[in-house]
Amino acid sequence: MKKPILLYKVVQPDVLALLKEHFEVDEFDGLAAATRPDFLAALARAQGLIGMYGRIDAGFIAAAPRLQAVSTVSVGYDAIDLAALNARGILLCNTPDVLTETTADTAFLLLLGVARRVAELAQWLKEGHWQRPVGAEQYGVDVHGKTLGIVGMGRIGGAVARRAALGFGMRVLYTARSPKPQLEQALGAQWRELEALLGESDFVCVLAPLTAQTRHLIGAEQLARMKPEAFLINAARGAVVDESALIDALQRRRIAGAGLDVFEQEPLPPQSPLLAMPNVLALPHVGSATRETRHAMELCAAHNLIDALAGRRPRYLVNPQVLEPPATASPTRSETPSPR
């Protein structure tokens, strides 16, 4: 008998067929249906969850008494209550690696786009303002030969650093939890404390995961340390940057501009001041949104869930500690059982 799972994302046909080959699948288009009786009934019987986006908190998890594994079609899992999963011994799987290069492409697109004022000038052209050769009012700034500071040198940070150093001759600085000697040797990257990196960089690219420690890592104090002619790029999670502080810095022209794929509130409200600023290039969280990469992410998540519910260790397991047997204390003399 196939195990029941709840799918809360529309996936490509071959991925759905793979899931149905292994599971009894209840399908929903996102977590907006989470209050519907049919969704709650499916959640109550589900042994696995697979999907993308939406908050999975302790209350949600409590409504799934048979749940054994959650497979998110993403690298980040900050919207999922990991402590609640750990307390129940529920596996959490994610999809790193398959989206590294695509997300690095997006981060570098933001960097190039804001430096050369791509969105602003494209709109200027469409509105019929190109009546004579462009002048200083339309100039951007060079990217090649500049200094890029990367905040969070993980897989994606390393891919961005490679593009910067080898493709654009940029000097690369980085801050991370641990040194990256291989990148330093291959790319000439140099480690810096965050404060020093902010002060030296022409472009600051935020690629750190969102944790309790990194929430608002870049705030008013950090933005004030950046050069007035520097640009901030955020392709990680919106809340790593204090958005109100960023808006203030941009409005005051304390920094030159920003390229943003992520925001503290998503979808970004249409009335956000960021959308009215000509020195902001904003995208709707499309870092991994290509046909090829999203397909690879869905397949990865499906295989993670198949392995998890088959009793095999998934390739990409966030919380391996739940597989470890609980430690048992050595019996005291009074607790030692008598031989029989």
**237 catalytic, yes or no?**
yes
Three-class DSSP category at 48:
strand
Question: H or E element: which one contains 18?
Answer: helix 13-22
- Residue of 66, 253, 266, 313 marked active site: 266
φ/ψ (deg, to 5) at 25? -105, 125
Q: What is the signed CA dihedral for 135, 126, 114, 132, rounded to 10 degrees?
A: -10
By the 8 A CB rule, do 61 and 84 touch? yes
Residue 171 is a catalytic residue: no
From the candidates 163, 171, 237, 303, give the one annotated as an active-site residue: 237
- Residue whose structure tokens are 């910067």: 164
Marked catalytic residue, from 117, 285, 294, 303: 285
**CA of 91: how far to CAs of 33, 69, 70, 305, in Å?**
23, 4, 6, 9
Percent helix, strand, coil in the chain, to 5, is: 40, 15, 45
285 is an active site residue: yes
Task: Enumerate the active-site residues.
Answer: 237, 266, 285
